[in-house]
Structure 1
Amino acid sequence: MKRYITTPIYYVNDVPHIGHAYTTIIADSAARYFRLKGYDTFFLTGTDEHGQKIEEAAKKRGKSPKEYADEISAKFRSLWDEFEISYDKFIRTTDPEHIKGVQKAFEIMYNKGDIYKGTYEGHYCISCESFFPESQLIDNEFCPDCGKETSIVKEESYFFKLSKYQERLLELYRNEEKFVLPKSKKNEVIRFVESGLQDLSITRTSFSWGIPLPPSINDPKHVMYVWLDALLNYITALGYGTDESLMHYWPADYHLVGKDILRFHAVYWPAFLMSLELDTPKHIATHGWWTRNGEKMSKSKGNVVDPKAVADAYGLENFRYFLLREVPFGQDGDFSQKALIDRINNDLGNDLGNLLNRIIGMSGKYFDFEIDSKDVAKYHQNELDAMQQILDSLDGLVEDMKWNRYLEELWKILTIANKAIDTYTPWTKMKEGKEDEAMALVALVANILAKVAVMLHPVMPKTTQTIAQALGFTIDRNAMQRLIEQKELLEAFTIQKIPPLFPKIEEPLMVEKKQEKKEEKKEDLISIDDFFKTSIKVGTIIEAQEVKKSKKLLLLQVDLGEEKPRQIVAGIKEFYAPEDLIGKQVCVVANLKPAKLMGYVSEGMILAAKDEDGLSLVTPEAKKVNGTPVR
């Protein structure tokens, strides 16, 4: 039995944040769970290091793309090592083996006829490294994923025949009910595919930081589309195209991804695999985004959550518990110190830690710390049955990546224990001379704590090992078999006294950056001399034409009474047709330094006024001689 679990490979345009930590900790918890269950488990993470965005970021910092990628990739790996993430491999898309595997895949798809050469013209978002059809743009201009401005790009490109696989993809979604988790997200994917798939541009010529095409194709000006490169990491990490000794782990059981990259994993990736005649992954497990104190995180607001800072302040394992418990998988979650403190004080401190303290105290007071389970079933079969019913439900919740529900159900077992203490009052039993019943109650709670510790171990590995050692055992595959699968109870043992696991937190441990209220911007006052430095003249538009690759710009020739007309590039295409401007008089800032826009030199600026009703050019009330100054 095997399990293959992956995180996305993280793009090295920024340092790790809470979203990266969330995905990685879910994947790590799943890997730890499956190892406890006896599965041969392979856990992959890594970094995605090619593309125009990386090339530009490196250039701004005066570094080569590889130097920049090395630096950021090391930060991810260092944090995951510090967080003791139990990955089996950390892949980088700059690894030579990955590059060879990607080139082999490209060659196979090309020889099969699934890749062909053509020309692409469309709206390109540098931030998302993606082309978008006009129908998907916001306001016909902005990226539907990140909201940033797109630019029209025309370049030679190789295309993948994505449209060829439309029906096979829809068949996949129909046949595999849980291909996308949670199931609600699958409907989004189906709607996207049913709307019609266009062939996918998979190479670029406008930058060079990417994987070159295979030597057999011999087209050196092209590099591969970053998403084709990145998605193939899931098989190149197993040796695809080089040493394929790990390919027996394929197909992946779980690709953990954020909702912003669902389309790439649930549409493009299975289509690539179909072309390569490889099995598709079993589950694309899709989680939501994190906000902070109800607000979207952004660098400009200074409210991005640094996972290392939180772990350092509150404890890594407490942070792990909070991330998995706080939000249902697939939904957006909100990070606040108050919510984290509440989870630590109540769930961990009161429910779990205090229960262990009570049992240590009672066993010491009544039984010299010796605990024996021999009579638990005799007096507490109902509690054992209720606990077992919950334990039996947990495996299915992990299979569906419902970690929030998993922890919720696990905590119900702690409720059974606390209720049993309050119901059977062992101190009363001792007074009545019913020592066997008191021992059975203490042993019941000890066994509940032991079984909860085993099942909580994937989320809080160090904390639960401490609990287990206090209860006289070690959490490993053997403990999972005995205590959970074979439903055994603890053998007689001496409980160990340990310090409280979750000291109460009275106030926030991290200083929140206060958001300064921005003062209302006042008009900058200038002197009359400053104003007269600007030369504004009346001119007549004598020619007007569209700037073809732009949605906003028109190219104008304006007569200002000078020896030759001025060429001016103006962003008024949305409001004026070129033919309506011929002969129109306008006011022009005539002493601006020339600027180059979309390849055209602009020698001035036309004045206009814009409000919610649209844009109007500033024109003289009556016709004036061209070149007349505006005072």
Structure 2
Amino acid sequence: MPDFYITTAIDYVNGPPHLGHAYEKVLTDVIARVRRMRGDRVYFLTGVDEHGQKVQQSARARGVAPQQFCDEIAAEFRALLPRLDVSNDDFIRTTEARHKRVVCDLLQRLYDKGEIYKAEYRGYYSTRQEQFLQEKDRNPDGTWPELFGEVTEITESNYFFKLSAYQDWLVRFLTENEAFVFPKFRQKQVLEFLKEPLNDLCISRPKERLEWGIPLPFDADFVTYVWFDALTNYYSAVADKEPAIWPATWHVIGKDILVPPHAVYWPIMLKAADIPLPRGIIAHGWWSIRGDKMAKSTGNFVEPNAFVDSYGTDALRYFLMREMVVGQDSDFSETQFQARYNADLANNLGNLLNRTLNMINRFADGVVPAPEGAAEAAAPEAELRALWEETRAAIPAHWDGFQFHLALERTITFVSATNAYIEKRAPWKLGKSSEPADRALLVRTLATMAEALRLAAVLLRPIIPGSVAKIEAALGYTPPETDWAAECEWGTRLSGAKVAESLVLFPRIQATTSAEAAPKK
């Protein structure tokens, strides 16, 4: 049985993936890789949401069947994952038979319990958001917010889920489980939302208006409303797994779908169906582009595949994790990206790698030497090692708190200190000396450089896994499967290892305003 089950939101297939989709997948992947590296058995799910009125309309506009339309867009989302080096264990589509069956079983169970009833509804409906609206959703001047698009008044019979009956329970649950939503200020927003009475949730659409959906098992004239369909994916993907995988440890989602879908509808659906709740929800923020909202219609848009083509997978992964504080918003600009790339990856980490390989090849025949005797307590080696002990002690708390930007800041500080150490020892000068003491110090310096690089790579492995694998191969090092704590011990694991002649992972780039001008990987 996995120790750790993590999911992303499933992406709606009404358009191609953008930077926000890429960020969520990379963030979840980093969390999953950290847990695997520390010895947990992880199950990582992502996928796509394929039903609903917007898909039906888009397919008709293209002149293709909805399934064909979904197949094409779903393939784009699936293809993005390996390009971002995302290590998901499963990819679910809501048009799959395994998902439809579980949705129908869940609906029938709730219907049989009396949690679902039929009633006539008259109200305002947003086609864009595929939801009924209330007067409280209007702007102060009586207009509807732009996010709802065209709003029409309709009257029709539908099926409703008794959401309101569980409002008091949900308030108690969130009060007793203060860490259910991360970050905490998002949980406060959920409780604020719950101060207003909940309406029962409309969970169906008449087939005469929407055909592209899962038919209700107890009334074939209706299809399942998108949220009741989509939210179930986290459970339907693993419902039949043996040994059991559910409940999820974390759902990673964007802040826009926290309230009400994931923090209100989903917990209540599970409670009503007597299914255990997940441990919690991580609600991340949004990326803006040069200070403005990301929108493909205005050209303010970052296409992740093109960015990977220009700069490489790990450069994008590193920037996303270094610049965004999980739970808050952040801004993306190519100028900012290039500055971070050059400062951290090219001039710092890449420089350390190049110097290490160059010096070991130049002065030790390409083999990491084993230092003799103990270093003096006050020597630069001791200072660097002390900094490493501080760094590795701090990292787990940053990882557990999803503060990956701080973990990276500390790691790069250690890399900078290693480069500063090299300047102090100046192995290029020691290598010219024939004095035995200088030769011994050269050996110690080369061994220290290699070990510091290896240790920094351990901490970077969840963030830039492809580059770290190349660094480790260049150092002649094969890491253990899961013994992370032992890997972080300063030692002589590399003694006698044959290193590569050279390796340029992050060539410095010239400042540009176009990804097309960047070096191709």
* Partner residue, 2:135: 134
Which piece of structure 1 moves more, 474-483 or 438-447? 474-483
How big is the shift at 1:367?
3.0
Q: 1:453 aligns with which of 454, 457, 460?
A: 457
| CA 1:150–1:377: 2 relative to 1, 3 Å | farther
Which piece of structure 1 moves more, 249-258 or 294-303? 294-303
1:443 aligns with 2:447: yes
Determine if contact 2:285/2:327 at 8 Å carries over to the other structure: yes
* Partner residue, 1:474: 478
How big is the shift at 1:16?
0.8
- Match of 2:220, SS state, is coil
Q: In 2, distance between residues paired with 1:478 and 1:185?
A: 33
Determine if contact 1:373/1:444 at 8 Å carries over to the other structure: no
Determine if contact 1:181/1:400 at 8 Å carries over to the other structure: no
Q: In 1, distance between residues paired with 2:75 and 2:139?
A: 36
* Partner residue, 2:249: 253
How big is the shift at 1:373?
5.0
How big is the shift at 1:318?
0.8
* Partner residue, 1:189: 190
Q: In 2, distance between residues paired with 1:482 and 1:213?
A: 54
| CA 1:84–1:139: 2 relative to 1, 3 Å | same
Q: In 1, distance between residues paired with 2:492 and 2:146?
A: 53
Determine if contact 2:310/2:515 at 8 Å carries over to the other structure: no
1:23 aligns with 2:19: no
How big is the shift at 1:47?
0.8
Structure 2 counterpart of 1:502, which letter? F
Q: How does 1:572-583 map to 2 (within 5 A)?
A: none
1:504 aligns with 2:508: yes
1:212 aligns with 2:215: yes
Determine if contact 2:284/2:327 at 8 Å carries over to the other structure: yes
Determine if contact 2:477/2:494 at 8 Å carries over to the other structure: no
- Match of 1:194, SS state, is coil
Determine if contact 2:345/2:506 at 8 Å carries over to the other structure: yes
How big is the shift at 1:105?
0.7
How big is the shift at 1:376?
8.8
- Match of 1:186, SS state, is helix
How big is the shift at 1:424?
4.2
| CA 1:144–1:403: 2 relative to 1, 3 Å | farther
How big is the shift at 1:333?
2.0
1:350 aligns with 2:347: yes
Determine if contact 2:346/2:506 at 8 Å carries over to the other structure: yes
Structure 2 counterpart of 1:503, which letter? P
* Partner residue, 1:223: 223
How big is the shift at 1:396?
2.7
Structure 1 counterpart of 2:493, which letter? L
How big is the shift at 1:342?
1.1
* Partner residue, 2:258: 262
| CA 1:394–1:57: 2 relative to 1, 3 Å | same
| CA 1:129–1:366: 2 relative to 1, 3 Å | same
How big is the shift at 1:399?
2.6
| CA 1:308–1:108: 2 relative to 1, 3 Å | same
Structure 1 counterpart of 2:230, which letter? A
Q: In 2, distance between residues paired with 1:338 and 1:313?
A: 14
Q: In 2, distance between residues paired with 1:142 and 1:465?
A: 55
1:419 aligns with 2:415: no
Segments of 5+ residues of structure 1 without an aligned counterpart are: 514-631
| CA 1:132–1:345: 2 relative to 1, 3 Å | same
Determine if contact 1:377/1:384 at 8 Å carries over to the other structure: no
* Partner residue, 2:357: 360
Q: Deviations over 1:379-425 (max 9, x none)?
A: 43443232122223222322332222221222122133123233444
How big is the shift at 1:301?
1.5
Q: 2:332 aligns with which of 332, 335, 347?
A: 335
Q: In 2, distance between residues paired with 1:134 and 1:233?
A: 31
How big is the shift at 1:138?
2.0
Query: TM-score, with normalisation over the residues of structure 2?
Result: 0.91
How big is the shift at 1:511?
6.1
Determine if contact 1:159/1:202 at 8 Å carries over to the other structure: yes
Q: Deviations over 1:44-63 (max 9, x none)?
A: 11110111111111111112
Q: In 1, distance between residues paired with 2:52 and 2:466?
A: 39
* Partner residue, 1:54: 55
* Partner residue, 1:602: none
Quick one: higher RCO (CA 8 Å, sep 6+), 1 or 2?
2
Segments of 5+ residues of structure 2 without an aligned counterpart are: none
Q: Deviations over 1:570-617 (max 9, x none)?
A: xxxxxxxxxxxxxxxxxxxxxxxxxxxxxxxxxxxxxxxxxxxxxxxx
Q: In 1, distance between residues paired with 2:61 and 2:356?
A: 60
RMSD: 2.4
How big is the shift at 1:211?
0.9
Q: Deviations over 1:170-202 (max 9, x none)?
A: 233223332111222211111111223222111
How big is the shift at 1:377?
6.5
Q: In 2, distance between residues paired with 1:112 and 1:398?
A: 42
* Partner residue, 1:171: 172
Q: In 1, distance between residues paired with 2:145 and 2:393?
A: 43
* Partner residue, 2:3: 2
Determine if contact 1:125/1:143 at 8 Å carries over to the other structure: no
* Partner residue, 1:386: 387
Structure 1 counterpart of 2:55, which letter? I
Q: In 1, distance between residues paired with 2:158 and 2:450?
A: 65
- Match of 2:80, SS state, is helix
- Match of 1:209, SS state, is coil
How big is the shift at 1:93?
0.5
Structure 2 counterpart of 1:21, which letter? A
1:307 aligns with 2:304: yes
Q: Deviations over 1:282-302 (max 9, x none)?
A: 221111112222222223322
| CA 1:367–1:267: 2 relative to 1, 3 Å | same
1:324 aligns with 2:295: no
* Partner residue, 2:235: 235
How big is the shift at 1:512?
8.4
* Partner residue, 1:525: none
Structure 1 counterpart of 2:105, which letter? K
Q: In 2, distance between residues paired with 1:417 and 1:480?
A: 21
* Partner residue, 1:556: none
| CA 1:511–1:341: 2 relative to 1, 3 Å | closer
State the percentage of identical aligned residues.
38
Determine if contact 2:451/2:490 at 8 Å carries over to the other structure: no
Q: In 1, distance between residues paired with 2:456 and 2:416?
A: 11
- Match of 1:222, SS state, is strand
Determine if contact 1:376/1:444 at 8 Å carries over to the other structure: no
Structure 2 counterpart of 1:133, which letter? Q
Structure 1 counterpart of 2:269, which letter? F
Q: In 1, distance between residues paired with 2:109 and 2:89?
A: 28
Structure 1 counterpart of 2:346, which letter? G
* Partner residue, 1:490: 493
Structure 2 counterpart of 1:225, which letter? Y
Q: How many corresponding residue pairs?
A: 505
How big is the shift at 1:350?
0.9
Q: In 2, distance between residues paired with 1:377 and 1:62?
A: 75
How big is the shift at 1:374?
4.6
Q: Deviations over 1:59-100 (max 9, x none)?
A: 111122222111211121122234342211111111111111
Larger radius of gyration: 1
Structure 2 counterpart of 1:466, which letter? K
| CA 1:452–1:171: 2 relative to 1, 3 Å | farther
How big is the shift at 1:364?
3.3
How big is the shift at 1:509?
7.4
* Partner residue, 2:37: 36
Q: In 2, distance between residues paired with 1:408 and 1:511?
A: 25
Structure 1 counterpart of 2:91, which letter? F
Determine if contact 1:465/1:475 at 8 Å carries over to the other structure: no
* Partner residue, 1:396: 397
* Partner residue, 2:271: 274
